[in-house]
Amino acid sequence: MIETLTLTPGTLTLEDCRRLYRERLALALNPDAREAIADAAATVARVIASGAVVYGVNTGFGKLASTTIPADRLEELQKALVRSHAAGVGEPLDDAVVHLILALKANGLGRGHSGVRGEVIDALIALTNTGVMPVIPSQGSVGASGDLAPLAHMSAVLIGEGEARRGGERLSGPAALQAAGIEALILAPKEGLALLNGTQVSTALALAGLFEIDQVFRAALVAGALSVDAAMGADTPFDARIHALRAHPGQAAVAASIRALLRGSVIRASHLDCDRVQDPYSLRCQPQVMGAVLDHLRFAAGRLVAEANAVSDNPLVFPAEGEVISGGNFHAEPVALAADQIAIAAAEIGALSERRTALLMDANISTLPPFLVAEPGINSGFMIAHVTAAALASENKQLAAPTSIDSLPTSANQEDHVSMATHGARRLLPLAANLRRIVAIELLAAAQGVELRRPLATSAVLGEAIAEVRAVADFYDRDRLMAPDIEAVAARIAEGAFDRFVDLPLDEPGG
């Protein structure tokens, strides 16, 4: 049975958003929200009846805002807006992302400052609950005025146009409405604009990227701890006293996590009195690097939750004062900057992981067989797996280049500064896919290195992590096709197999 999440607009948590993305929860609108929604719609009706000219209600859009639309053409105006703005291109967004977009749009409209009727929100919820996902092209938004093109494709289904998917089947707009059990909406004044304006696409994409990268972050901490043991590294750099002197919460938390992962390692106990003075930075400075990553992911998470609960269309309706005010909440700069933070942090996770894999290849540093295989020369071992990690890490550095610093004026220079949040958020998912494979390669290499230390053993916890690797990839005793093992371990990361080893939630204070 599908679990239902009751939307109390403006109160979504990070965990709610994660579950909406991962689990495809059904939605229900809290009945207490309906009064505010109705008041806002009534305010729009009163403004129109008064003869006032209000942007987007009875005017054109963007550069055409000075054109007043007669009352008998307001319905036509809203439908024309949806049709003209459905100009997106590219591959459709994944259904999991679309599911989150629908929920975020219902959440924002449900706060009662957008002027839409309750049936508009009900229609969005009906699509969600019946698994009818509008086909939304992934390209075409610059992140101001909101995610216009992609949200127009979403909205087209509500008026019986466009396309949707259900269970892998492509449906026409009318067929989609039939599958959802609803009638096509006849959009009232402002409703088309309220649906199209908003940052829900860029926010959903950024949240999706955050959730995927957070999962790989956890696996990377496990891989890093395994690499410490595989290379016979020291655990003294993780001493709590070191990190207490710097007061970065993520750094202290990561150090504590690595200490817990290594606790009880026989490998570590075997070389307490060795003559190595210091380990390379990729081992020794994990708390400093991964802690900074954690702090910035937490900060970005906080901004994205705030945006998930925001009213980000324009103009906004204030029923208590009877006013409709034009502003700029559709500008997605908060999302753009958060997405850049996440991308840069993810690139650093991969950069550090690749360096540890490289370290394990070097017998002079690791004291393991060259490239972690018996009979090196006959066997090449992990040589080219590391090259793949290096290629992916380099690609991620390019993907992490900031998008928020770019802007191109649109709408005949009316929209003269835009955020580029949407593709800044969209690139997080391919970046996460690369990162997953980088860390999968390190998990394979580090597990191999630890097992080459037998009869010495790692900690019990890391032994469980190795068992997760070995569930899908055998010990590498001689050369074989490596790609299937990389993909299998990457899939285990995506399935959450390593989540249980690291308890560092993103919604804790810090950053």
113: amino acid identity, one letter: H
Which residue, chain included where needed, has tokens 């204070």? Answer: 509
Q: Report the Cα–Cα distance between both ends of the chain, in Å, rounded.
A: 38
Q: What is the dihedral of CA 238, 240, 242, 245, to 10 degrees?
A: 150
CA pair distance 484, 480, nearest whole angstrom: 10
- Residue 250: exposure state from Cβ atoms within 10 A (0-12, 13-18, ≥19): buried
Q: Which of these is catalytic: 21, 55, 281, 476?
A: 55
Q: Are 40 and 115 in contact (CB under 8 A)?
A: yes
Q: How far is CA 341 from the centre of its chain?
A: 12
CA pair distance 96, 98, nearest whole angstrom: 5
Centre a 10 Å sphere on the Cβ of residue 116 and count the other Cβ atoms it contains: 27
Q: Is 55 a catalytic residue?
A: yes
Q: Are 167 and 174 in contact (CB under 8 A)?
A: no
Q: Residue 66: is the preceding peptide bond cis (ω within 30°)?
A: no
Sign (positive or negative) of CA dihedral 287, 289, 290, 292: positive
| Cβ-based neighbours of 7, under 8 Å, separated by 6 or more | 27, 28, 29, 30, 33, 103, 106, 107, 110, 125
φ, ψ for residue 209, nearest 5 deg: -60, -40
**What's the angle, vertex CA 105, arms to CA 103 and CA 108, rounded to 5?**
110
Q: What is the dihedral of CA 155, 158, 164, 169, to 10 degrees?
A: 170
Q: Are 450 and 462 in contact (CB under 8 A)?
A: yes
Q: Which of 223, 495, 490, 217 is nearest to 342 (CA)?
A: 217
CA pair distance 202, 207, nearest whole angstrom: 9
Centre a 10 Å sphere on the Cβ of residue 71 and count the other Cβ atoms it contains: 11
Between helices 74-85 and 148-158, what is the axis angle to 10°? Answer: 120
Q: How far is CA 82 from the centre of its chain?
A: 27
- Residue 244: exposure state from Cβ atoms within 10 A (0-12, 13-18, ≥19): exposed
Annotated catalytic residues are 55
